[in-house]
């Protein structure tokens, strides 16, 4: 079989394996029998080649049925895992077909780095971070161009970039005039010694676990991450008074990075609640030479919701994030592009260069007379990576700001519908008698895309997640809240049908509670 015929056949078979018949819902998890069949079929490297077509049949007929269905179902509510928009899948296939690496800017040889740069600029506009959008209202600092911008593998990698840049800058700002002993040049021990820094802390409130991983990777250590919750009732909010106390330790040789959770992973709530809080935090950071990093993996997209009263509270919660020094964004969550797509923004490209420049590789020097764009290998972790910007560019072009805003609005409406159903009386399905919305009943009004809840019956609560997952009809994540088991719905798929999916979730929760009571457990 010639190459072109094989590729055409492969695309047909792959689409058939991944397709969902009209009017049906794909399973969110594979059958256990399918996993068993796939597991027993896994073979060592063959001494006799299997060949392309039999291998393709093995992949589509045996491996594919054992894969989860988050891309095929609007009812996969686990983690914060978006589906992939069809246009993004098409663009990703194109990226694979050409297998382009975008790490060196070669404008006379490839358009790839320019597409990537345009995609990043369009994202800035979508999130109202760009001066071109004309929507910033945060004062003289708002709308400053984000010169440092690049794609990463996801929010974890972007958080690593954020802490690496923050580490570089909080030390650099304390070096004696004329010193070139930055962390990127002489290492963290030498730079800190010259700058009189004995400790670098990461101040946060309910920071994502990847923040601790990032702190370890960049040499600060997991213990450098310090939680500063506003209160026991609102632990996701950042206590600005406590932040100020920590920042004042600068005279003791303590430098700080403030990490804002814009979308806490369990509740979806925000560390800051207003433009005023962000302005105050910006003033404190400037006064004490601190760095502000926003982990906005999915929460940052609240800024792209329609500018209406319906979403005013969410937009207020993300107001002022443009005043930060760096921002993490995750594309394979709410933007609904394929894994693995992360984005990172920071104020100055020079900061990224100071940490990530790839020296002494003259064969990788940018060339040509096109637009001046830094080679991505000098501003990120990888020296080679796939053209992950293309699906992002395709989605932004295809859907535009109105289309993406409406997609995000559907996600919020479904999540809020579920939250309201858990606290509101209903003649047919009175879910509030059997379930408790967390962290409190008023959370329904502040819901973004995450709904945290538990069954009131302890026995049911302990098995609730498993009952949902075992059905294969829908998927939720299990988690803990204040030491107790909890259930977490994260709405993040473009496939969401608000009315149908809301009725589905309500009816299934009611059925589970009814069956539990009737079983006498």
Residues 496 and 434 in one domain: yes
CA distance 100 to 316: 40
Q: What is the mean pLDDT of residues 76-94?
A: 95
pLDDT category, 320, cuts 50, 70, 90? very high
Q: How far apart are CA 175 and CA 170, in angstroms?
A: 9
Report the share of the chain in percent with pLDDT over 70. Answer: 95
Q: Which domain-ending residue is among 35, 67, 99? A: 67
Domain identity same for 286 and 137: yes
* Residues 291 and 405 both lie in one domain: no
- Give the residue among 187, 158, 116 at the shortest CA–CA distance from 387: 116
Task: For tokens 């702190």, name the residue.
Answer: 215
Q: Is residue 382 part of a domain?
A: no
Q: Rounded distance, CA 259 to CA 227, Å?
A: 10
- What pLDDT does 225 receive? 98
Q: What is the DSSP string of 266-327?
A: TT--BS--SHHHHHHHHHHHHHHT-EEEEE-TTGGGGGGS-SSGGGHHHHHHTTTGGGSSEE
**Is 104 part of a structural domain of the chain?**
no
246 shares a domain with 148: yes
Q: What is the pLDDT of residue 25?
A: 86
Least confident of 100-109, 275-284, 492-501: 100-109
Same domain for 249 and 159?
yes
Averaged pLDDT score across all residues of the chain: 93
Phi, psi of 99 (to 5 degrees): 45, 50
Domain match, 305 and 418 both: no
Give 23's pLDDT tier (boundaries 50, 70, 90). Answer: confident
Question: Is residue 340 a part of any domain in this protein?
Answer: yes
| CATH code where residue 475 lies | 3.90.1150.170
Is residue 133 over pLDDT 90? Answer: no
List all residues 6 or more positions away from 298 whose beta carbon is below 8 Å from its beta carbon. Answer: 80, 263, 268, 330, 333, 334, 449, 492
Q: What is the mean pLDDT of residues 89-102?
A: 94
For residue 364, the model assigns a pLDDT of 63
274 lies in the same domain as 159: yes
User: Phi and psi dihedrals of 245, rounded to 5?
Assistant: -60, -40
Residue 137 pLDDT exceeds 50: no
Residue 144 domain flag = yes
Q: How many C-alpha atoms does 8 have within 13 Å on its Cβ side?
A: 5
Specify the 3-state DSSP secondary structure of 128: coil
Number of helices (H), then strands (E), in the chain: 15, 12
- Predicted confidence at residue 361, as pLDDT, reads 67
CA atoms within 13 A on the CB side of 70: 22
pLDDT of residue 368: 64
Which of 67, 86, 117 lies at the terminal end of a domain, its last residue?
Answer: 67
For the cut 70, the answer to whether the pLDDT of residue 517 exceeds it is yes
Q: In the structure, what pLDDT confidence band is assigned to residue 366 with cuts at 50, 70 and 90? A: low
The verdict on 419 and 291 lying in the same domain is: no
Residue 95 lies in a domain: no
- Cross-strand partners of 226: 203
**Does residue 26 sit in the same domain as residue 137?**
no
CA atoms within 13 A of residue 509's CA, in its CB half-sphere: 29
The pLDDT of residue 20 is 87
Predicted confidence (pLDDT) at residue 440 exceeds the cutoff of 90: no
- Which structural domain range is residue 410 located in? 394-518
Q: Are residues 187 and 304 in the same domain?
A: yes
pLDDT value for 363: 56
Residue of 215, 218, 313, 197 whose CA lies nearest to 259: 215
Q: What is the CATH number of the domain that holds 327?
A: 3.40.640.10
Choose among 321, 364, 365: nearest CA to 345. Answer: 321
Residue 381: inside a domain: no
Final residue of a structural domain among 67, 91, 115: 67
Residue 305 CB coordination number (10 Å) = 21
Over residues 393-404, the mean pLDDT reads: 98
Residue 5 within any structural domain of the chain:
yes
Mean pLDDT lowest among 106-110, 232-236, 313-317, 322-326: 106-110
Closest CA to 154 of 318, 364, 381, 374: 381
Is 462 within 8 Å of 478 (Cβ atoms)? no
Does the residue 192 lie in any domain?
A: yes
Q: Can you give the pLDDT at residue 282?
A: 98
Number of domains in the chain: 3
336 and 405 part of one domain: no
Q: Where are the alpha helices (DSSP H) in 48-180?
A: 52-58, 86-98, 112-126, 155-172
Q: Is residue 257 located within the same domain as residue 181?
A: yes
Residue 450, SS3 per DSSP: strand
pLDDT band, residue 476 (cuts 50/70/90): very high
> Helix, strand or coil for residue 40?
helix
Residue 55 burial (CB count, 10 A): 13
């Amino acid at each position: 079989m010639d190459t072109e015929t094989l590729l055409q056949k492969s695309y047909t078979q792959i689409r058939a394996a991944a397709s969902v018949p009209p009017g049906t819902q794909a399973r969110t998890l594979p059958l256990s029998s399918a996993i068993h069949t796939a597991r027993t079929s896994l073979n060592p490297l063959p001494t006799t080649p299997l060949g392309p077509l039999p291998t393709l049949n093995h992949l589509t007929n045996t491996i594919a049925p054992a894969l989860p269905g988050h891309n095929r179902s609007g009812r996969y509510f686990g983690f914060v895992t978006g589906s992939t928009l069809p246009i993004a899948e098409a663009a990703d296939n194109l990226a694979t077909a050409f297998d382009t690496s975008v790490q060196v800017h070669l404008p006379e040889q490839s358009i790839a780095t320019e597409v990537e740069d345009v995609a990043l600029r369009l994202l800035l506009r979508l999130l109202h971070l760009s001066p071109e959008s004309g929507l910033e209202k945060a004062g003289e600092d708002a709308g400053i161009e984000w010169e440092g911008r690049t794609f990463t593998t996801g929010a974890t990698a972007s958080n690593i970039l954020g802490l690496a840049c923050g580490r570089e800058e909080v030390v650099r700002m304390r070096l004696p005039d004329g010193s070139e002993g930055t962390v990127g040049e002489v290492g963290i021990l030498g730079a800190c010694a010259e700058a009189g820094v004995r400790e670098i802390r990461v101040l946060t409130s309910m920071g994502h676990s990847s923040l601790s991983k990032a702190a370890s990777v960049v040499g600060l250590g997991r213990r450098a991450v310090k939680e500063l919750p506003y209160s026991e009732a609102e632990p996701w909010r950042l206590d600005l008074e406590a932040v100020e106390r920590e920042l004042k330790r600068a005279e003791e040789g303590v430098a700080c990075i403030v990490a804002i959770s814009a979308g806490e992973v369990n509740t979806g709530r925000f560390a800051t609640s207003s433009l005023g809080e962000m302005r105050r935090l910006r003033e404190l950071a400037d006064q004490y030479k601190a760095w502000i990093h926003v982990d906005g993996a999915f929460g940052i997209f609240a800024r792209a919701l329609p500018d209406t009263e319906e979403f005013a509270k969410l937009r207020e919660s993300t107001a002022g994030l443009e005043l930060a020094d760096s921002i993490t964004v995750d594309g394979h969550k709410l933007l609904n592009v394929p894994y693995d797509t992360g984005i990172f923004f920071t104020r100055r490209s020079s900061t990224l260069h100071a940490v990530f420049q790839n020296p002494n590789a003259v064969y990788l020097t940018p060339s040509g007379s096109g637009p001046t764009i830094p080679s991505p290998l000098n501003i990120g972790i990888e020296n080679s990576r796939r053209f992950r910007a293309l699906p992002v560019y395709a989605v932004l072009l295809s859907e535009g700001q109105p289309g993406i805003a409406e997609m995000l609005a559907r996600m919020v409406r479904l999540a809020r519908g579920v939250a309201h159903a858990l606290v509101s009386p209903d003649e047919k399905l009175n879910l509030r008698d059997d379930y408790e919305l967390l962290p409190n009943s008023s959370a329904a009004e502040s819901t973004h895309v995450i709904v945290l809840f538990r069954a009131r019956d302890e026995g049911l609560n302990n098995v609730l997640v498993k009952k949902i997952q075992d059905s294969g009809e829908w998927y939720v994540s299990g988690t803990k809240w204040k030491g107790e088991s909890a259930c977490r719905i994260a709405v993040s798929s473009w496939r969401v049908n608000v009315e149908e999916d809301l009725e589905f979730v309500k009816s299934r929760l009611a059925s589970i509670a009814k069956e539990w009571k009737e079983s006498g457990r």
